[in-house]
Amino acid sequence: MSTASEVIAGQGRVRRAQQFLADNPVVVLVVVLVALLVITDLVNRHQSGEPFVTWKQLSTTLLVAAPLGLLAAGQNLVMLTGGVDLSIAYIATAAAYVTAWQGDAGTTSAILLGLGAGAVIGLVNGIGVAVFRVNPLIMTLGVGSVLFGLLSIYAAKAFKKTIPDLVSSLGTERFFGYIPVNLLLWAPVAAAIILGLRYMGYGRMLYAVGDNPSASRLAGVRIWQVLILGYVLCGLLAAMGGMLLLGFVGNPDLGLATPYLLPSVAAVVIGGTSILGGFGGYGGTILGALILTVLTSLLNVLNGPEWVKQVLYGSLIIVFTAIYARASASD
């Protein structure tokens, strides 16, 4: 047993640590990311004698993380409003299918049609959530299952799949052998989201709607417009992620983006965005996506079976949210 003063001192230290964590989630996430990289490196050296942390591997990590990063961006916007988009993986897959299907008709139109498909599905989600006030979880789960059904119908039909050159080079190539080309898409989008959330009126409204819908309605925010635009943007970002995946995998199939559904939620949650809305940002989400990608590499290096990955994902979501919940509760 420790004495009372020790306990109080210990609590003070814990409190300070919590406060630090609450104020600087990004710092903590960077520490976690670096720690994971070091662990992966050590394990890899132990297993194959090769280092894991090389420029080549780091660039591969970025390349692989980009689609997740874009999906998580969409998820992030929706989650800031207090919603969630569980149809996001099917939106990405649908966009990839549309692009591959229209590939013959020209690169520009194929890509625009793919993005359009994403936006339209996002619009359906948005209308359900904002106008009909359906719980976002149910609306997007329902839209997701309808999309999956439609996709399995069309996937069964034979059609010519052409992947535009631009899409495949975006998905796989690197400048000078090290810088992934897909950063050309991801980096500007990330910058736009981070700055937009901070400085644009619409960005602030997303937070306001998520934090307190009644107050924002009374302040004159048209909540339904904010929500619909949020889901449309989410659909667009998901479509972009789907195209990167299409380029990366090289062939559209039904399970193209499905493995990214729950990681997209996990990346946002790990990145410190509240699932209840109104709190968080995209900077943390990027780190969340990178952490999950490195974690997957670590499990691959360890030759970890699929079930370990699933259990780890699940536990991580709970543990990270618990930490954030404690930290923000101590304010």
Partner 1 sequence: MSAADVPFAAERVGVERWRRWLRLHAWTVAVWLVFLMMLPYWRSVSSGSFSFDFQNLVIGALPLCFAAMAQAVVVISGGIDLSVGSLIGLMNVVSARWMVDMSLGRALLFVLLCLVLSGLAGTLTGLIVVTTRIPDIVVTLGMLFVWYGVALWVLTIPGGGAPQQLYDFVQGTVGSTSIPWALVLVLVVWGSFWLSIRWLRPGLSIYAVGSNRNAAYLSGIHVARTRVGAYALCGVLCGLGGMALTTTSFLGDPNAGRIYTLNSVAAIVLGGVSLLGGVGGLIGPVGAAFILTLINTILLQRGTDPNYAAVYTGVIIIVVVMIGGLLERRGRT
Residues forming the site for partner 1 (CB under 8 A): 84, 128, 132-135, 137-139, 141-143, 145-146, 148-150, 152-153, 156, 262, 265, 269, 275-276, 305-318, 321-322, 325, 329
From CA 72, how far away is CA 271, in angstroms rounded?
10
**Which lies closer to partner 1 via its Cβ, residue 29 or residue 189?**
29
**Which lies closer to partner 1 via its Cβ, residue 108 or residue 310?**
310
DSSP category for residue 19: H
Report the nearest approach of partner 1 to the CB of residue 124 (Å). Answer: 9
Report the nearest approach of partner 1 to the CB of residue 313 (Å). Answer: 5
CA distances from residue 105 to 155, 163, 171, 241, 279 in whole angstroms, order as listed: 19, 11, 20, 21, 43
DSSP assignment of 77-146? HHHHTT---TTHHHHHHHHHHHHHHSGGG-HHHHHHHHHHHHHHHHHHHHHHHHTS---HHHHHHHHHHH
> HEC string of 190-209?
HHHHHHHHHHCHHHHHHHHH
From CA 236, how far away is CA 118, in angstroms rounded?
5
Indicate left, alpha or beta for 89 from its phi (over 0: left) and psi (-120 to 50: alpha).
Answer: alpha
**Which lies closer to partner 1 via its Cβ, residue 237 or residue 266?**
266
Report the nearest approach of partner 1 to the CB of residue 148 (Å). Answer: 7
Residue at token pair 């988009």:
85
Report the nearest approach of partner 1 to the CB of residue 1 (Å). Answer: 23
Report the nearest approach of partner 1 to the CB of residue 80 (Å). Answer: 15
From CA 210, how far away is CA 80, in angstroms rounded?
6
Neighbour-count burial of 304, counting CB atoms closer than 10 A to its CB (0-12 exposed, 13-18 middle, 19+ buried) = middle
Report the nearest approach of partner 1 to the CB of residue 277 (Å). Answer: 11
Report the nearest approach of partner 1 to the CB of residue 189 (Å). Answer: 26
**Which lies closer to partner 1 via its Cβ, residue 151 or residue 237?**
151
**Which lies closer to partner 1 via its Cβ, residue 172 or residue 321?**
321
Cβ–Cβ < 8 Å for 92, 238: yes
Report the nearest approach of partner 1 to the CB of residue 143 (Å). Answer: 7
Cβ–Cβ < 8 Å for 170, 182: yes
**Which lies closer to partner 1 via its Cβ, residue 7 or residue 325?**
325
Indicate left, alpha or beta for 250 from its phi (over 0: left) and psi (-120 to 50: alpha).
Answer: left
**Which lies closer to partner 1 via its Cβ, residue 155 or residue 194?**
155
**Which lies closer to partner 1 via its Cβ, residue 171 or residue 288?**
288
DSSP category for residue 179: E
